[in-house]
């Protein structure tokens, strides 16, 4: 005698598989977004460091060129 699944059991399995697939996809997207946010924060931090270095270079150049204008 073969075991047979009821329609309810089949539906439950389908819903369960769908929820598991959705959870896996959400996890993947979350990882992608987290990585992107980290990369953007790193790029902006690097840009800010460059701006500070440029500002400091400009200040030093002004001091060397004409110390009375500082």
Task: Give residue-wise pLDDT tens across range 26-65.
Answer: 999 999 999 999 999 999 999 999 999 999 999 999 999 8
Could you give the CA distance from residue 3 to residue 67 in angstroms, rounded to a whole number?
A: 93
In this prediction, residue 3 carries a pLDDT of 78
DSSP code, position 66: -
Residue ranges covered by each domain of the chain: 27-63
Task: Give residue-wise pLDDT tens across range 5-29.
Answer: 899 999 999 999 999 999 999 999 9
In this prediction, residue 4 carries a pLDDT of 87
Side-chain half-sphere exposure of 17, counting CA atoms within 13 A:
6
């Amino acid at each position: 005698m073969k075991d047979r699944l009821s329609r309810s059991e089949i539906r439950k399995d389908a819903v369960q598989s769908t929820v598991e697939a959705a959870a896996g996809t959400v996890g993947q997207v979350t990882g992608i977004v987290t990585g992107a946010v980290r990369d953007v924060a790193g790029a902006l931090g690097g840009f800010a460091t460059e701006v500070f270095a440029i500002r400091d270079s400009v200040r030093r150049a002004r001091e060397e060129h004409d110390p009375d204008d500082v």
